[in-house]
Structure 1
Amino acid sequence: MEFRLIALTALFVLVAGCAAGDRSMMATRPYPHSHSFYDLLVSWETTGNRGSVTIDGTLKNQSYYYLSDPEITATLLDANGKIIGEGTFLFFPHQFSLDEIAPFTIRIPLKEGEVPKRIRFTYRYRLAEEGMAGSLRFNSFEATP
C-alpha cells in the first residue's frame, strides 16, 4: 500500500511538471514580418501551396498587464480589397504575462486562382485584472503576405 502511494505521488509530480512549462523561455526563430503596437508584438511568415495559405508566427505581450483569452484572426484580401479567406487562432493556456511569447499557426484554404495581396490581422483579448466584466481590447492592421 505504501509503495502504491509513493508511486502515485511520483507520477503526479512528474505529470504536473510537464504541464507547467514556461512559454516565455521558448526558443523562437526570427520571422521576416512583424508589427508592434503598445500592447503586442506580432511576428509572422506566410507560406502558400496549392489551395491554401499558412501563417506561422508568434504573439508577444509587451504590456504590464496579464492578457486573458487572446485570439488572432488573419483575413486574406485580393487586389481589390475583397475578402478571399479567413482563419482564427485561439491561444491556450489563455493568460499571458509580460514578455511572454506564444506561437500560432493559421491555415486558410483558398479557391483555385485566388491570390492574396494583403493580410488584415485582428487581435483581441481582455485584461485578466478586469475579469469577464472588463471591456474587450482589440487592434487591427494590414500587411503584405
Structure 2
Amino acid sequence: MPVEIRATEDAALQDLLRVVIAGVRSGAAFVLSTPVGLPGDVRRALGDLDASVFLETDEEWMQRMLREEDVVEGVVALPVSDRVRLVGGRAAVAALHTALATASGGDPDLAVYDGEVTAAARIELLPFVHEQSISITAHRYGNLDPWSSDVI
C-alpha cells in the first residue's frame, strides 16, 4: 500500500530510517516528507531507490497532502494518500495528527499511524501492507462440519 511518511522536527533519524526501511522491505511505494534535511548518505540511498523526498514545513506538507475537490455542497479536502505514518516525539505527532484530522474533516478513509516507532519489524510493516481477513464457517444448520478441523 502506498504510504505518506511524515517526520516532525524532533524525529530521531534512527526512527525515521526504521520506518523507511520497513517501506523499502515491504516493496510499497512511499513518499517521505521531513522538515529538516537528511544526511547526504541517506539522500543518496533514497535517490538510488527513486523514493520521493520532500523538505517542507508542516503547513506545506498539509497543503500537498490534501487536495481540494468540488462536491455538490461545497469544497472538501481529500487526502492524496490513504495512509500516513507519523514519526517523531509524542507531543509533535499528536499535534500533527490533530491538524491533519481537522484539515481532512475527519475523513474515515484516511488511516493515520501515529504510534511510537518500535524495533518490532512486524509492527512497523503494518502501514505498508494490505490487511486481509479469512473466515471459515464450519457448520450447517448449527451442526459442526469436521472438514475444517484440519485447516484450523
Same fold by TM (over 0.5)? no
Normalized per residue, the structure richer in strand is 1
Normalized per residue, the structure richer in helix is 2
- With the length of structure 1 as denominator, give the TM-score of the two structures: 0.25
